[in-house]
Amino acid sequence: MDRKRTCHGAGRPVSLVAGARLVLAGNPNVGKSVVFNHLTGNYVDVSNYPGTTVEVLRGRYQSWEVVDTPGIYGVSSFNDEERVAREVILDAGVVLNVVNATHLERDLFLTLQLADMGIPLVVALNMMDEAARAGQHIDVAALEEAIGVPVVPTVAVTGQGLAELEQVIAAARPGRVAPQLQEQLETLSKTAGSRARALLILEDDAPALEAAGLAPGGRRDEIYLERRERVDRLVSACVTRSGGGRSFSARLGRLAVNPLTGLPLLTAVIVAAYYAIGVLAAQTVVDFTEGTLMEGYYVPWIQELVGRFFSETSALGALLAGEFGLLTMTVTYLLGLLLPLVAGFYLIMAILEDSGYLPRVAVLADRALNTVGLNGRAVIPMILGFGCVTVATITTRLLGSRRERTIAVFLLALAIPCSAQLGVIAGLIAPLGARYLVFYLLTVLVVFTVVGTALHRVLPGRPTDLFIDLPPLRLPRPGNIGVKTFNRTWAFIREAGPLFAYGSLAIGVLDLAGLLATIQAAVAPITTGWLGLPPQTANAFIMGVVRRDFGAAGLYDLALSPGQTLTALITITLFVPCIASMLIISKEQGKRQGAVMWAAAFSIAFVVGGVVKHVLALVGW
Amino acid sequence: MPFTLDMLPVGRHGRITGLPGGVVRSQAIRFGLAEGASILLYERIPRGPVVIRRGLQEIAIGRALARSITVDSE
């Protein structure tokens, strides 16, 4: 690519400071992670930013510490992603701004804001191939001159332009500032500490105002509109458009949001996902990992090993290797049952995420979710809930209001079974036949809708509106999918492991102390009387308090009639969220609200369970 | 009655003449949807969101929000 470097930029190039921070910033889906991987190679540290589910990737490139930030459309504090990106950008030595060449009107807003912030900047003009296919010609030299920083055309996925990009990082410099802001920024930056913070103050960014002890000046709109005008002028000056064909991806993207074609497509995706997780992972893979590996080889081996030191009937022997043992049940459940299910789920999630399909599901689901007081964006925590309710609960932060978070958190806790539980439920219900499966699904769906609608009516306020950008559909890259799946699965095991251990320890102690039988007798009026289930079902519910899937699994060993199985499964599905979820819910929603939700789920589960039993008796199933 | 985005027929172009305030407005300006921006009504979910296009960019807008954005049909 033949480019002329303009040397009369707006600011001086930065000198290379050892250990300085190179921050990657850009809109969502612009190819930032590909650039990041190119710079940092294999050694990457992924961590959730404190208090968020927002992932921050760190790596090294020469003497730079490279930080990848979540995709944002501008620097401010409208949501978690922005808050995280804002923090990282404010500490940046150099910002490498990756922009999508096909969406310059949108992407350059962030670029010009970064220029106004006065941080040394380099722009990677990515996806030049897509822009060319769409019939766009971009005058790179003019763009570079107007922004006042180096601009390098790239096609990150093929590596094109990345070597040139590396060469200009050292030439990063602050870009041109909006003329009407210059003077004020100059003055304000003396007290604010930097021009970046000064700009955020002028734009009424809440944390920046708070840090400076200032009141909002009400100028954000004016500054944004002026920047919007500059972006539009820049684009019409630097971009020439000539026809360009509609791509296959654009046509498929349209089919995905057209209700006539989109709903069948969505159904097909759900069926495929159910088959992959509910059948392939939950049955075929788990049969091997839990049945063959764990119960066939591992458990007898560890029991024999523990037996050499402690008698099987001693307290320590039972706690370590008994029915609920730390080294038997915990390890079997965690590695034999949950690991394949959770990994399978995260794999599907990563594919859906990277393909750009999820936002289109949000469009299709928006109207339905409006009836329970949510908007289309809530499909993301709801789908995640089928993986792990705990993770999904944290993700509800992406919802627009506290009201929506409350509704979503409670619906997740009540009516969304997690992947581990789903696997067990699928295993129990499949042999009963299709009508039982349909009855189960309809009951849970009715509870979801009725409870959601009731909350929507009772809680003051209204749902916030769907307002999202639809990324182009893309074929996901296997490497990226693999890394994501591995990182998330590993994080899940690391977090769930200790909780599992505590849970089995608690049940083991209850069992040793003979309390399990006492509790069974005490709750018999509910289990045997109201639900018509055998008294041992109480064990399943006690275990269900620790983990909902422990509860469902506890039903495996009981000789239940098909009707009893259905009643028990519906009750355990709606039953209280697991301990891990409860901890997160209390943290997110407050202890009191958490307690109310727990009690409500408990009551609703048994009321609905009893009603199901009586309905089944009436229809004679 | 003002003509709003949700009334624009599928396949028709429109020019934005008014936006609601607050964070939604700031987000709209970032997306390129300031007053005066020309858009194409690309797809409509019955009683649900509308999808508009500006250049090659597609944006989904909930029905209630679409009702609060005024446009001139082009």
DSSP characters for A394-415? HHGGGSSSHHHHHHHHHHHHHH
Q: Is A414 on the interface with B (CB under 8 A)?
A: no
Going from the first residue of chain B to its last (74 residues), give the mean pLDDT of each consecutive group of 10, the final group possibly shorter. 91 95 93 94 93 92 95 89
Q: Is A466 on the interface with B (CB under 8 A)?
A: yes
Is the confidence at residue A8, as pLDDT, over 60? no
CA–CA min distance B45, chain A (Å): 6
Residue A13: per-residue pLDDT: 47
Is the confidence at residue A428, as pLDDT, over 70? yes
**Cα separation of A426 and A430, whole Å?**
6
Specify the 3-state DSSP secondary structure of A27: coil
Helix A419-429 vs helix A434-458: crossing angle, to nearest 10: 140
Task: Supply angle C-alpha A291, A292, A293, rounded to 5.
Answer: 105
Half-sphere exposure of residue A571: CA atoms within 13 angstroms, side-chain side = 29
Is the complex ipTM higher than 0.90?
yes
Percent pLDDT > 70 in chain A is: 94
pLDDT tens per residue across span A285-296: 888 988 899 889
CB A101 within 8 A of CB A130: yes
Specify the 3-state DSSP secondary structure of A616: helix
Specify the 3-state DSSP secondary structure of A245: coil
Are A363 and B49 inside 8 Å of each other by CB? Answer: yes
Are B26 and A76 inside 8 Å of each other by CB? Answer: yes
- Contacts with A, B 7-66, CB within 8 Å: 21, 23-32, 34, 42-43, 45-49, 51, 54-65
Across residues A365-371, what is the average pLDDT?
A: 94
**Cα separation of B68 and A378, whole Å?**
22
Is the confidence at residue A382, as pLDDT, over 80? yes
Query: Closest residue of A to B50, CA-based?
Result: A363
Is the confidence at residue A18, as pLDDT, over 50? no
Are B27 and A73 inside 8 Å of each other by CB? Answer: yes
Tokens 């604010």 — which residue?
A192
Mean pLDDT over all residues of chain A?
A: 87
Q: Chain A partners of B21 at a C-beta cutoff of 8 Å?
A: 221
pLDDT tens per residue across span A546-591: 777 777 777 877 888 999 999 999 999 999 887 778 878 888 888 9
Residue A284: per-residue pLDDT: 85
Under DSSP, the state recorded for A73 is S
Is the confidence at residue A1, as pLDDT, over 70? no
**Cα separation of A254 and A248, whole Å?**
10
Specify the 3-state DSSP secondary structure of A513: coil
pLDDT tens per residue across span A158-186: 999 999 999 999 999 999 999 999 999 99
Is the confidence at residue A15, as pLDDT, over 70? no
Highest mean pLDDT among A243-247, A327-331, A467-471: A467-471
Query: In the structure, what pLDDT confidence band is assigned to residue A43 with cuts at 50, 70 and 90?
Result: low
Q: Which of A391, A397, A351 is nearest to A378 (CA)?
A: A397
The bridge status of strand A94-100 relative to strand A121-126 is parallel
pLDDT tens per residue across span A318-363: 888 887 788 888 888 788 877 887 888 889 988 998 898 999 999 9
Are B64 and A465 inside 8 Å of each other by CB? Answer: yes
Q: Is A465 on the interface with B (CB under 8 A)?
A: yes
pTM of the full structure = 0.84
**Cα separation of A98 and B10, whole Å?**
33
Residue among A220, A228, A467 whose CB faces B62 most closely: A467
Query: In the structure, what pLDDT confidence band is assigned to residue A14 with cuts at 50, 70 and 90?
Result: very low
Are B26 and A74 inside 8 Å of each other by CB? Answer: yes
Residue A5: per-residue pLDDT: 37
Q: Is A254 on the interface with B (CB under 8 A)?
A: yes
